[in-house]
Structure 1
Amino acid sequence: MSIRNISSVDYVAGQVQQYGLAFVMVASYFGSGSVFIASQAGVMHGYTLLWAVVGAALLGFMAQDMSARLGIHGEPLMIFVREKLGRPGATAIAVFLSIGCIAWTLGLVAAVGAGVSFLLGGAIGWQPIAVVTTFAAIGVGLLNYDTVENVMIGMMLSLMVIYVIVALPSGANPGDIAVGFVPTMDTFGALAMAAGLLGTTALWPNFFLESILVHQKGWTEQSDLPDAREDLAIGYAVGGVTTIAILIAAAALLRPMGFTQLETFITPGEALVEVLGVWAMVLFVGGVIAAAFNSIIPIMWAPAYMVPQAAGVDVQKGDRLFKIVFASLTGVGVLSPMISRILDLSVVDMVILFPMYNGIFGLPVAAVLLFWAVNDRETMGEYRNSLKLNVVNASLVLLAIVLAALSMQDFLDLITGGGF
């Protein structure tokens, strides 16, 4: 290897070491839920909700910025909650939020199972594959942080390339796309889906993780904040572009073909095959598998930190207690087939509805706690929110609460009525 090549490798390695945390955060939100919520949004509402994708990415960035500042200048979010509300109150919140993480995992392992089952020609049902996926996620999640981060960087960049390649030949009208980036009256008929997009993008587990993991990158001073923000900007740009590409492909290809909803797990892929060829199906399903598996790990890291912290134990990733909580809660994923049967939900229903649940119930709680923390003088000192930041940050809290209130009934009707 030449000196020039060695220098290039060293440079890339240095960039990965300096940045990369946002890819872990974005990988957690960009799972099968994002793929299917974006596809469903495109099928049901055309380009109407493109503005919501951009808005959700900006709100996600904003929330992560608050969390990063809290970690740099204060303390991890759940430790703040414990200090303010005491162990019983913090534990109740941690358990309530952890239920949402488990629900996510149930949908994610089902998505991986369905994807692999399809690629195997149906020789094995999705249910046993989901069980195996659960144990695989536990194994990967227990690897050291740097290894997981590198995997997430590679997977997220690959996913963006995959879905942009699928979207480019879709024949979407640029004028119609441009209109979709502006909210219209049609938006009021798509609030539940907008809540789903927000809930799967401004991912509340990341509010807790970012405040912990900034120290993993060595970001401990005010001077490190620009690096943290640049990291977040890169990560959310990748996630946002990928989500937009999926929505455009669904709106341009599936909607004109008469689809009004995603009838099966592979409906988007089937439509893509008719227009673009078999390669599009392989890319779509492969992307779903990668996205779903990616998400399980950081999402389930959150309760593995939160529950011990709420109880008064400040764990690190390699600690025995962290490993036990992570493995135990992630292990509930083996029940995914049973939950599907009991609630009469398809795989698609689970990967859309469970992130929607988190957007409606988990996000408002976490957003209020985060907003409280960055405004607390005792915790943040001179770095607490300014009036300008409060005006901007309050938009996340208000939007989360309003969307939750407006879309809760639709969600309850779907979850109790057997899905879409």
Structure 2
Amino acid sequence: MFKKIGPGVLVAAAFVGPGTITMCTLAGAQFGYALIWALLVSIIATMVLQAMAGRIGLVTQSGLVDVVRTELSTPWFKNLVIIIVLGAILIGNAAYEAGNIGGATLGLEQLVPRQQLRPFLPATIGIVIFLLLWFSSYKILEKIFMGLVGIMGVSFVICAVITQPSMIGILKGMFVPKLPENGLLTLVALVGTTVVPYNLFLHASLVKEKWNSTKDLKAVNRDTIISIGLGGLVSMAILITASAAPISEINNALDMAKALEPLFGKMAFLFMAIGLLAAGITSAITAPLAAAYVASSCFGWEGGMQNKKFKMVWAIVLLCGVVFLSFDIKPIEVIQFAQVANGILLPVMASLLLWVVNKKSVMGNNTNSLLQNVVGIAIVVFAIFLGTKSIFKVIGLF
């Protein structure tokens, strides 16, 4: 079974990062089980979009940007799409990398007793990630991620079980949708942390690293469903745990752990710290990797992960994260730009994805079915709504 699991694990690890943990904590602490349905919808949407991206990567043996660049015939529109994608992914991932490394640092700080060592932890984590990316092949990264996701998953699920949640309440929150008062922006953010645009590029590029025949389509779909399903289970476990924690103020993902300690003891705090460390490291690896794959596709670089320009891109993204965190730089304007760019990017990429996956000239007999198109169109409409809300939130209209 483990030999058949592949890129889906990296995608799951990418969306369950410190940002997702913080948002699930916020949703659970403020609204209890009421927004579990939103997580369920976003997990299904992620499965559908990632399955399409994986299928494109398998059939074409190319990255998503390569296919889009080939299929778009209007020069100005093609260049506009490439600029939006490149800007959103490179600048966005560089800005969010600080949050990923920060999350890993928060988790590690709870496991390192000596206070004098703590200022060096962000740089230490950055060096470890650099060495992993520089010397590892895709197969090695895959094994590392399976271990980290396993640790993360077990940690958060144990935390949820410790809180003795109400199964009736969970099922009601999952299958009886309702929007609590003042819950709209939390819902938008919750979905936005799960349906991540850069994962579409990452998935298509990684699928061709593992599989090279359309005979493997079932394996790709199985890998996507199982891996993202497990990632979704972790997100739900975090939300369920947070609903039991008496949290008055939330600044980061560790606030839930601090609130749990008096109620459930040091073990809950320890599992939360370990889970946060694993989540931070996995996201801190996938964000630079996705940025490098996008740049590689946009500029047509050969050689995959061993290309020097490819390595230079992920190294710059990683360095930005370490610098922002180590010098306490708060790149608010950059992050706001990234939110706007990603708000535009998600509906654009979801639409392009749906267009490409229905082209016989590209996909042959592996185009979408009617049901897949209906679900895909619904996701595109929702992505436009989500993108609009994200932009309005940043510019202060809502």
Whether these two folds match at TM > 0.5 is yes
Is the counterpart of residue 290 in structure 1 residue 278 in structure 2? yes
Say if 1:152 and 1:405 are closer, same or farther in 2 by CA, change over 3 A: same
1:8-407 equivalence runs, <5 A: 15-74=1-60, 75-83=62-70, 84=72, 88-89=79-80, 91-92=82-83, 93-121=85-113, 123-124=115-116, 128-142=120-134, 143-187=136-180, 189-221=182-214, 223-251=215-243, 253-254=244-245, 257=246, 259-263=247-251, 265-337=253-325, 341-342=329-330, 360-407=343-390
What amino acid is the match of 1:81? V
The TM-score, its normalising length taken from structure 1, stands at: 0.84
Closer, same or farther: CA 104–381 of 1 in aligned 2, 3 Å:
same
- Cα deviation per residue 1:310-361 (whole Å; 9 max; x = unaligned)? 123344112222112221222211232378544589xxxx9xx999767634
* Unaligned runs of at least 5 residues, structure 1: 1-14, 415-420
RMSD of the alignment, in Å? 2.8
Structure 1 residues 277 and 355, CA, compared in 2 at 3 Å: closer, same or farther? farther
Cα distance in 1 for partners of 2:186, 2:327 equals: 23
Write the distance in 2 (CA, Å) between the matches of 1:226 and 1:202. 22
- The answer as to whether partners of 1:97 and 1:362 remain within 8 angstroms in 2 is no
In structure 2, relative to structure 1, the CA distance for the partners of 1:192 and 1:282 (3 Å cut) is: same
Structure 1 position 264, deviation (Å): 5.1
Letter in 1 for 2:324: S
CA contact (8 A) 2:12 2:228 kept: yes
What SS class does the counterpart of residue 146 from structure 1 fall into?
helix
Q: Structure 2: any 5+ residue segments left out of the alignment?
A: none
Aligned residues: 390
Partner amino acid, structure 1, of 2:207: V
| Distance verdict in 2 for CA 1:188–1:367, change over 3 Å | farther
Asked if the contact 1:114/1:126 (under 8 Å) is kept, the reply is no
- The superposition leaves residues 356-409 of structure 1 with CA deviations (integer Å, 9 ceiling, x where unpaired) of 767634422332232222123432233332333211112221111112223433
Identify if the C-alpha distance between structure 1 residues 188 and 101 changes in structure 2 by more than 3 Å, giving closer, same or farther: farther
- The 3 A distance-change label for structure 1 pair 188 and 236 is farther
Q: Is the 8 A contact 1:163 1:242 kept in 2?
A: yes
Task: State the identity as a percent.
Answer: 25
Per-residue CA deviation, residues 238-276 of structure 1 (Å, 9 max, x unaligned), is 11111111101111x22xx3x344145532111111111
- Paired amino acid for 2:66: I
Residues 72-126 of structure 1, C-alpha deviation per residue, up to 9 Å, x if partnerless? 2233211022222657445412223222211221211111223323433571486
Offset at residue 178 of structure 1 (A): 1.7
- Tell me if the contact between 1:112 and 1:289 (Cα under 8 Å) persists in the aligned partners: yes
Distance 1:386 1:171, change over 3 A: closer
Deviation at 1:208, TM superposition (A): 1.0
Distance 1:366 1:126, change over 3 A: farther
Seen in structure 2, the aligned counterparts of structure 1 residues 396 and 369 have a Cα distance that, compared at 3 Å, is same
Residue 188 of structure 1 deviates from its aligned partner by 6.7
Q: Distance in 2 between matches of 1:355 and 1:122?
A: 36
Q: Tell me the amino acid that sits aligned with residue 250 of structure 1.
A: A
Q: 2:34 touches 2:178 (CA, 8 Å); kept in 1?
A: no
Structure 2 letter corresponding to 1:199: G
Change over 3 Å in CA distance of 1:216–1:58 after alignment to 2: same
The match for 1:6 is none
Amino acid at match of 1:310: C
- Measure, in 2, the Cα distance between the counterparts of 1:68 and 1:299: 18
